[in-house]
Amino acid sequence: MAINTKGFGAYDIRGIYPESVNQELAYRVGRVFPGLFNAKKVAIGHDIRLTGPTIADALTRGLTEAGCDVFDVGQCGTEMIYFATGFHDFDGGIMVTASHNPKEYNGLKFVKKGVKPVAPKTGLLDIKAAVENENFDWSFRKATGSVYKIDILHDYIKKLLSYIDVKKLKPLKVVVNTGNGSAGPIINEIEKFLPFEFVKIYNNANGFFPNGVPNPLLEDSRVATVKAVIESRADCGIAFDGDFDRCFLFDEQGNFIEGCYMVCFLAEAFLKKNPGAKIVCEPRALLATLDVVEKLGGEAIICRSGHTYMKAVLRENNAVYGGEMASHHYFRDFYYCDSGMITWLLILELLSQTDKKLSELMADKIANFPVSGEINTKVSGVDKVKEIMDKIEKIYAPQGVSVSKIDGLSVDFENWRFNLRGSQTEPYIRLNVESRGDKVLMETKRDELLSVIRE
């Protein structure tokens, strides 16, 4: 197959099979990975995509022919490769996944020893250059590596449960929508240890995605979860993306809970257990989180969004928790990595400790800090993003109390703020607006900004 490296992005490799991601690419990645990262033992796994086993086999062949031992987890979620790499102290981990992308996509995510992410500046561009190197002797075979099938399920479930006190959980009714992704088998296993009544929908793993793309950020993907929550009179709903490194929450009325409120909620939980701890958040929507951190005596650290950046900042500051409004939640004691499973377990533990409904727990936060949610506008390219950003900065920055460019453009005013940024992976410019207790102000400024952006 032809080599096409256009799938190399800001965080991983991702593209349509077989044009951008195929067996030849996976094989070459396997051949160069051990030499670049001094890796002698590497964990691999794949999600439920139909091309996953084939790509994983080619990757395995490349790794073993480079003299590396492969520890194959099989079908799993991305966080399970993080866990396997850290738990067994492997020299690296590679996950075959395209996360929430449509079924025709696939890709590769990497970590090196210590479960440290591989980003453009920490090895991803080196992999790209090595894969493209036609002077490399691809015919040479060390052929010394072995392949071991490993079962990490017991230890992984034990790690997840260590985050909560099962004895304090209430018998809540919970809708779980795994979107025919990789989370289904894990829900079936962890259910044995919990007092919850699960109402499962689309729980069978199916790479054809017969019920649509498993991406709960899309409103169409939420409909089934909302319907099930209301009809079953559940206490809450949970929905996962394809490789379940993200989960999304719905209250008992079927209302989708924006990711920034979940960050605030979890920050509060961690600060109550870890007084004075550091919390990492990103600048898209952060007023509710900053309020909680200040009231509870923690220290907030603002970081650019994206898992490679968040993990690095968490590690550098030994922060106990970090979160993004896109529903990536990072935990110090989970190798500074993101976990969709730990997230919902913590939320349901918090819900078990109160007589309030989830909507009631969130009501004050939503009223005190109304948000627009992320609004995407399609643009023609990078130059257009820059043109729009410059225009917005020229109009709004002189009026602001503060201006930040940690991630895109953030301008703070006395009672409201906004963040505008270009997508790292798609031709979109993304807007978030929030205010302090004034929903009408937020909506007015949202519409005003969109009018300028879309002229």
How many angstroms from the chain centroid is the CA of residue 347? 17
Cα–Cα distance, 332 to 340 (Å, whole number) = 14
Dmax over Cα atoms in the chain, in whole Å? 66
99 is catalytic: yes
Structure tokens at 427: 């031709």
Closest CA to 165 of 188, 191, 193, 185: 193
Q: Which helix (H) or strand (E) holds 73?
A: strand 69-75
Catalytic residue among 99, 352, 372, 435: 99
How many angstroms from the chain centroid is the CA of residue 444? 31
Cα–Cα distance, 296 to 285 (Å, whole number) = 19
Going by C-beta distance under 8 Å and a sequence separation of 6 or more, which residues neighbour residue 299? 276, 277, 278, 279, 293
Cα–Cα distance, 416 to 404 (Å, whole number) = 14
Residues in the chain: 455
How many angstroms from the chain centroid is the CA of residue 8? 18
Q: List, in sequence order, the alpha helices (H) in 191-258.
A: 223-232
Q: Which helix (H) or strand (E) holds 354?
A: none
Known catalytic residues are 99
